[in-house]
């Protein structure tokens, strides 16, 4: 997960390298550090370093890290011969390495040789049962073959061991959502919110799932989490502001007759609506008319 500042830093470096302004190694290192998926760029710029013997020798020991990074990127782009060459180079240098063994198994996976890859991963796991990357490859393979229930099973097993892996919880939540198993998705987000209560993204995702689940209680809770997202993001999150408006409208429809929350609810909604209108006026003025009408219709129904 990447912050906005990190994302723009990455984007700037990317533009710089793309336009021949140098900084390829810095870009590749940043991609590694942020663990983002930019396989086509990594492949292009990584290869330009690896294919130039002067640039390669300047890297020193980092050369091997680059080989690994480019191998994985090549697999992602289905350039399997490049991946093969990089893996070969690594194998020559580190013949007994488990890490290289893992790359070889990934190559099998990239080729679609599922059974061979599964065998390779299993045997690697025997020697190193706590290799998170291999566990995750299993989940990825299940997903790639369309075996979603298998992916869920593996991912749940993974999380029993590595319950602090927030990205894995999020992946599981997304898989559950895609199957419209929203209750289970909500549970996953509850786990990450417990572990990292100040990350607004989780509050927002949780609110979205609760709203989708529906029902008065869920939508009321969703509204609370949209509010906490607004709190954590200084009111700058457009989705949360819209969320408040949607929730207020839905609550009013679901709770016809119960008068408890009326004043509070409409105050929060009008604040959110005002914030949205202010923002649109400033940054997207041509979209303001539709926004105003939409907000009016949401308010009218509440």
Partner 1 sequence: MGSNDLKYEVSQNAYIKLVLHSLKHPTSAVNGVLIGRISSSNDTVEITDAVPLFHSQIPLLPQLEISLILIEEYFSTKGLNIVGYFHANERSDDFELGGVAKNIGDHICRYFPQAAILLLDNKKLEALKKSKSSSAIMQLYVRDASKNWKLVQSDANNRFSLKEPSANVILLDYISSEKWNDIVDFDDHLDDISKDWLNPGLFN
Interacting residues toward partner 1 by CB under 8 A: 37, 143-144, 146, 174, 177-180, 205, 207-209, 211-212, 238-239, 242-243, 246, 279-280, 283-284, 286-287, 290-291, 293-294, 297-298
Q: In the bound complex, what is the minimum distance in angstroms from residue 207's beta carbon to partner 1?
A: 8
Nearer to partner 1, 88 or 224 (CB): 224
Q: Supply the minimum distance, in Å, between the C-beta of residue 221 and partner 1.
A: 14
Nearest CB to partner 1, comparing residues 124 and 273? 273
For residue 12, how many C-alpha atoms fall within 13 Å in the half-sphere facing its CB? 6
Q: What DSSP character marks residue 181?
A: -
Q: Which is nearer to partner 1, 100 or 251 (CB)?
A: 251
- Closer to partner 1 by Cβ: residue 8 or 122: 8
- Indicate the residue among 125 and 294 with the shorter CB distance to partner 1: 294
Scan for tokens 């990089």, then name that residue: 86
CA dist., res. 151 & res. 147, Å (int): 6
Other CB atoms closer than 10 Å to residue 126's CB: what's the count? Answer: 8
Closest distance between partner 1 and the C-beta of residue 184, in Å?
Answer: 12
147's tokens: 């075996």
* Residue number, 80 or 284, with CB nearest to partner 1: 284
Binning the chain into helix, strand and coil, the percentages to the nearest 5 are 80, 0, 20
Tokens of 170: 């999020």
Looking at residue 163, the DSSP 8-state letter turns out to be: T
CB of 179 to partner 1, least distance (A): 8
For the record, the structure tokens of 124 come out as 């690697």
8 A C-beta contact, residue 64 and residue 90: yes
From the CB of 83, what's the least distance to partner 1, in Å?
A: 17
Nearest residue (CB) to partner 1, 118 versus 279: 279
Give 68's contacts (C-beta < 8 A, 6+ positions apart). Answer: 86, 90, 99, 103
Q: What residues have CB less than 8 Å from 253, skipping those under 6 apart?
A: 301, 302
CB of 90 to partner 1, least distance (A): 25
Question: What is the closest distance, in whole angstroms, from the C-beta atom of residue 124 to partner 1 in the complex?
Answer: 25
CA atoms within 13 A on the CB side of 179: 17
């Amino acid at each position: 997960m990447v912050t906005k500042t990190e994302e723009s830093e990455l984007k700037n470096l990317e533009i710089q390298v793309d336009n021949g302004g140098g900084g390829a190694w810095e870009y590749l290192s940043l991609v590694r550090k942020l663990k983002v998926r930019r396989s086509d760029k990594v492949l292009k710029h990584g290869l330009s370093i690896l294919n130039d013997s002067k640039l390669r020798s300047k890297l020193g020991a980092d050369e091997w890290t680059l080989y690994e990074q480019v191998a994985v990127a090549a697999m992602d782009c289905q350039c399997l011969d490049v991946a093969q060459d990089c893996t070969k180079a690594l194998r020559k240098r580190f013949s007994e390495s488990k890490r290289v063994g893992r790359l070889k198994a990934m190559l099998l996976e990239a080729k679609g040789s599922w059974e061979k890859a599964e065998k390779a991963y299993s045997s690697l796991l025997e020697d190193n049962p706590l290799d998170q990357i291999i566990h995750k490859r299993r989940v990825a393979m299940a997903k790639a073959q369309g075996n979603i229930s298998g992916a869920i099973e593996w991912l749940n097993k993974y999380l029993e061991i590595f319950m602090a892996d927030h990205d894995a919880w999020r992946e599981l939540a997304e898989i559950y959502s895609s199957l419209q198993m929203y209750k289970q998705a909500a549970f996953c987000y509850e786990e990450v919110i417990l572990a990292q209560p100040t990350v607004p993204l989780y509050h927002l995702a949780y609110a979205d799932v609760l709203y989708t689940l529906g029902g008065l209680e869920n939508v009321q809770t969703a509204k609370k989490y949209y509010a906490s997202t607004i709190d954590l993001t200084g009111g700058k999150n457009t989705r949360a502001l819209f969320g408040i408006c949607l929730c207020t409208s839905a609550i009013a429809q679901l709770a016809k007759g119960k008068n408890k929350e009326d004043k509070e609810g409409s105050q929060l909604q009008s604040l959110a609506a005002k914030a949205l209108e202010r923002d649109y006026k400033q940054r997207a003025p041509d979209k303001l008319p539709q926004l105003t009408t939409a907000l009016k219709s949401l308010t009218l129904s509440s």
